[in-house]
Chains A and B, each alone.
Chain A
Amino acid sequence: MINIEKLSKNYKKNEALKDISLTVKKGELFAYLGPNGAGKTTTIRILTGLTHKTGGTAYLNGFDISKETLKAKRQYGVVPQSTNLDHELSVYENLYIHGLLYHMQGAKIKERIDMLLSYVALKDRKKSPVKELSGGMKRRVLIARALLHEPVILFLDEPTVGLDATIRRRIWGLIKKIQQDGTTVFLTTHYIEEAEFLADRVAFIDKGTIVAVGTPHHLMEKQGAWAIDLIENGQVETQYFNTREDADQYNVNRHKSYTLRRVNLEDVFLTLTGKKVTE
């Protein structure tokens, strides 16, 4: 569904993306995980026609983003990191304009708006000006807008950034539902738990390079199952173990402060890059 080959982007002397290659399968929920400035948003911006690439190729549902730009653009919907709704207009008007941009007929647009506002539980806010909505509601409007023209791919750029835990969980549920309805989802995030909860597969990106790709289970399995964080002189040192028993054994006769926990994707990223995703 998404095929990227040696995609690169240079900003003057800064290499934002260094020949990255990726494949996302149809119906997959793919998480693109990395710290701020790693190249996640640059990748999405190139794929969605907001930024020129320096080199490489990318195909969306078989359409080359450079040579068949308009056809490629019909394949996806985008939920950007920062809200780009018209705050002066109502929810309905924002969605209606989106429908016109995708050459939809008036009756079809109205039908889809009603359906999608129910889908994102915002039917009662149809006539509300966007400026009166909360952050979580705006994010749901963005998701409804991105799905209006029935795309086969949904790009979500940090969809829950800045939202509280409850709203974040609600958005996660919505994203899962979208995937179950058959849409391929490409999600960027720097929230470990978001990737672990949602993704079928994860790619780690750091300094414009993909450092690992795999299922969360597969990536974490290599690291071990249990981790002990030892706190000594204000420094945290982490040890990994395949079984709980091994971890318990390690702690025998140690009187240091420690935390026993399950291994997560943050550990994998830390081992691969020497830094945390959230740094």
Chain B
Amino acid sequence: MKGFIAVYVRELLILRRRITRLIPSWSVSPLLYLLAFGYAVGRHMDVGGHTYMEFLIPGLAAMSSMTQAFAISSEINVSRFYWHIFEEFQAAPISNISYVLGEVFAGMTRALLSIAVILLIGYIFGVTLSYNFWFWLALLLNSFVFAALAVGLAMLVKSHADQSLLNSFIITPMAFLGGTFFPIERLPEWAQYALYFLPLTHATKAIRKAAYGDLPLMVSYLVLCGIGVVFFFIAVFCVNKAKD
């Protein structure tokens, strides 16, 4: 299991090199969403007794925990197809679990840093919420789910081009349908049931409730935990499949 430290340290060193470029890039989308939806569209909107900005910030945090954790798949593919660094890990005496664990931790770290940027922007916009234990736990679990999914899928894709398909078919629909920008209760009942199959829906609901100072439903945490563990072991299996 020690090998995961090497994989994680490598990702941290790269992250450190890029951090000055990453922070502005993590800030652009939330800023645009807050300006466009928070100010322009939702300025006088009330969502369940909260301003739209208060509604939006936890949603953006949930979405960012998903997108940035999932972004580790692009990093893996660049190092796999372009730099062939994945071969160095395959030749080393480390288990598949260690490799997946290192990459998942790296994805979660990226996610947490990007969330910190969003919360800072929210603070600048005057939004103050409760960032308690349940809030951070839901974010951690959500980033775990999507980092594990990212590692598994990164092992299955055959080229860089496949990677953009994953974003188009998995991440973008989930970002818009997982309750980031609107309460899913406004959708037809059948659609709400369908959306409960998405992990982001559970994460958004839990994060938002915690941010409002309420106790989230424990079932959301259990669902995230369960899906995360399943994705993690699928990823471990997929690492072996990545060999010729």
A contact set with B: CB distance below 8 Å: 11, 45, 48-52, 69-71, 73-74, 78, 80, 82-89, 93, 97-98, 100-103
Contacts and interface: CB of A to CB of B under 8 A. Distances in A.
B85 interface: yes
Nearest to A78: B91
A97 B10 CA distance: 6
Interface in B82-137: 83-85, 87-95
A50 B5 CA distance: 21
A51 B83 contact: no
A85 B88 CA distance: 9
4 nearest A-B residue pairs (beta carbon): A100-B6, A84-B84, A73-B93, A101-B92
Interface of B: 2-3, 5-7, 9-10, 13-14, 17-18, 79, 83-85, 87-95, 243-244
Contacts of B87: 50, 80, 84
B244 A101 contact: no
B90 A49 contact: yes
A90 to B, nearest CB: 9
Given A97-B9, A97-B10, A100-B9, A86 B91 contact: no
A101 B94 contact: yes
B216 to A, nearest CB: 38
B244 A82 contact: no
Interface secondary structure of A, over-half rule: loop
Given A86-B83, A102-B92, 5 more contacts: A70-B93, A88-B17, A89-B14, A100-B6, A100-B9
Most buried by B among A50, A87, A102: A50
11 contacts: A49-B243, A69-B93, A70-B94, A74-B93, A84-B85, A85-B85, A86-B79, A86-B83, A98-B6, A101-B94, A103-B2
A52 B244 contact: yes
Contacts of B2: 103
Contacts of A88: 14, 17-18
B92 to A, nearest CB: 4
Contact of A49 (B7, B14, B18, B91): B91
B6 A101 contact: yes
A158 B79 CA distance: 21
B88 A51 contact: no
A47 to B, nearest CB: 10
B10 A50 contact: no
A11 B92 contact: no
A116 B47 CA distance: 63
